[in-house]
Amino acid sequence: MSKQYDVICVGAGSTGLPLAIRAAQSGAKVLQIEADERIGGTLHWSSGQIAAAGTRLQKQQGIEDTPDEHFRDAQHIANDQIDPTVLKLFVDNAASTIDWLMDLGFQPAAGTPVVGEAHEAYSKRRYLWGDNAAISILDALRPVHEKLVAEGKIDLMLGHRLSNLVADDSGDVKGVTVNTATGSKTYHGTSVVLACGGYAAGVDLWNEINPEIPLNSHCNPFSRGDGIKAAQQLDALVDGKEKFLCTFAGYLEDPNDPTSAEFLALSPKSRNIWEIFVDGNGKRFMTEDHQSIDYRERSLLNQRDMKMNIVFDSDILEHAAPLTLLTNEQYRSKFGNHPNFVKANTIEELAEALEVPFASLSHTIQNYNASVDSKKDKDFNKFFLIRKIANPPFYAIKATGMTVLSPAGLAVDKELRVLNNSGNIIPNLYAGGEILGFGRTSGNAFVGGLSLTPALTFGKLLGERLPR
């Protein structure tokens, strides 16, 4: 007979680490299974931007803020698309999560909290991060987690991948079955928590849930949706697939691998936009340097297959900063040598390479050049009009809307118990983090910090509240 655990936590990432720590500190017998050979999950990838109202940090800086204001702000930015039950649970408990991280040694970067950065601004300064992206959070969690593992209070099983949930005849969850390098194993526990992330790296599941949205993802390769698939076998409700917004913008490093997307540096706050963006008809379709990231994301979302071409010439290549995160030399050498980095001697050749009508592209460039001459972009009101697109060779990057987060996920009640398709709880099964769907915690917009902070918060809460 295998050991009986109080809590089985599937995943050792942003949700699973606080969960295992708080559960073990509260005296529970904890099993933590993790598919990867290391802990941390998406903390190794994430920018680590988090948000909460009523934190100690805000109070120290004289910022008055409340969970209710955070709730209203978040719903405003997200067009009222966030699950109100989940949002309420989150805003009421987020400040104590950030205070706890600071108790563990997490250091907010100088100048934080701010109202906004990378996403639409809040009305209050409640948005913060550490100096080393989400690794700053992992660095705070790791020592206490390691100590609890060393003391035998958390049984951590790396390289253990959940395959199935174990349930009895009445559907009550009793444990998990996992695949390991040496075969399959079953573990039993009173409560099972799915903290194993989203599905943005699970190409098959993505195509099943979101067939209409091309996948161009940049995320933890272990975000394969295993927890969603296991819960679906117990009739779990998966919803929210329509709450998708692409990240602006990137390119596929390997055009045959939808999980190989890399970021382009296109924020007008960090780099002037010297280039123009044209659609599949060779026409401009948006203000390239619009200050609202939400506007830029939605403009691209509305393009066919979320694709656009970033067009410029040799002068711009010479004077502007690279659009990728590569070195200047690596960046330049990609043009003409990578299917998504085009180099052409004439506009006609460029149009052919981009598969857009030559007459249309040529007209677009002439119009844009006239706007540069007159210092007024009548069509789209672009602000930065410094150089024409006139000197060959001409260049283009075939860019696309990206996915860093999966929109759909498991429906839960206010205690984070997983619901089935009839709206009833699946006994003993809980879930937290991106497995709930980004749409549930952030609606159909990117609200600052509203994926990572709910993951950390719900992990901590479940660790403190689950029965033992």
Ligand X SMILES: Cc1cc2nc3c(=O)[nH]c(=O)nc-3n(C[C@H](O)[C@H](O)[C@H](O)COP(=O)(O)OP(=O)(O)OC[C@H]3O[C@@H](n4cnc5c(N)ncnc54)[C@H](O)[C@@H]3O)c2cc1C
Q: Which residues bind ligand X (CB under 6 A)?
A: 10-16, 33-36, 41-43, 45-49, 161-162, 195-197, 218-220, 222-224, 226, 404-405, 433-435, 449-453, 455
Structure tokens, 33: 């299974």
Report in angstroms how near the CB of residue 381 gets to ligand X at its nearest.
30
Backbone φ and ψ of 170, nearest 5°: -90, 5
CA-angle at 117, arms to 112 and 119, nearest 5°: 140
Instruction: Report, in angstroms and rounded to the nearest whole number, the Rg of the chain calculated over CA atoms.
Output: 24
Residues 152, 353: Cα–Cα separation, whole Å: 60
Query: Minimum distance from CB of 425 to ligand X (Å)?
Result: 20
Q: How is residue 98 written in tokens?
A: 């950030």
Shortest distance (Å) from residue 289 CB to ligand X? 23
**Residue closer to ligand X, measured from CB, 222 or 335:** 222
Distance of CA 69 to the CA centre of its chain: 24
d(Cα 308, Cα 301) in Å, to the nearest integer? 10
Contacts of 193 (CB under 8 A, 6+ apart): 7, 8, 9, 10, 15, 16, 19, 430, 431, 432, 462, 466
Report in angstroms how near the CB of residue 193 gets to ligand X at its nearest: 10
CB of 189 to ligand X, least distance (A): 14
Are the C-beta atoms of residues 174 and 428 closer than 8 Å to each other?
A: yes
Phi, psi of 367 (to 5 degrees): -60, -45
Complex with ligand X: residue 49 or 299, whichever CB lies closer = 49
189 contacts 8 by C-beta, under 8 angstroms: yes
Nearer to ligand X, 200 or 323 (CB): 200
* CB-nearer residue toward ligand X: 95 or 196: 196
Contact 90, 441 (CB under 8 A): yes
User: In the numeric block, which tokens belong to residue 164?
Assistant: 């199935």
Q: Look at the chain and count its residues.
A: 468
CB closer to ligand X out of 215 and 317:
215
CB of 465 to ligand X, least distance (A): 17
Between 15 and 371, CB nearer to ligand X: 15
Q: In terms of C-beta density within 10 A (0-12 exposed, 13-18 middle, 19 or more buried), how is residue 26 classed?
A: middle
Would you say 126 or 161 has its CB closer to ligand X? 161
Give me 130's structure tokens: 């550490």
3-state secondary structure of 276: strand
Least distance in angstroms from the C-beta of 112 to ligand X: 12
Provide, rounded to whole angstroms, the least separation between the CB of residue 449 and ligand X: 4
Nearest to 200 by CA among 216, 212, 181, 182: 216
Identity of the residue, 240 or 282, whose beta carbon is nearer to ligand X in the bound complex: 240
For the CB of residue 432, give the shortest distance to ligand X in the complex, in Å: 7
For the bound state, the minimum distance from the C-beta of residue 386 to ligand X, rounded and expressed in Å, comes to 31
CB-closest chain residue to ligand X: 13
Question: Nearer Cβ to ligand X, position 19 or 24?
Answer: 19
Please tell me the distance from the alpha carbon of residue 31 to that of residue 272, in angstroms, as a whole number.
Answer: 50
Closest CA to 200 of 438, 411, 449: 438
Q: Which one, 231 or 286, has the nearer CB to ligand X? A: 231
User: How many Å apart are CA 393 and CA 315, to the nearest integer?
Assistant: 9
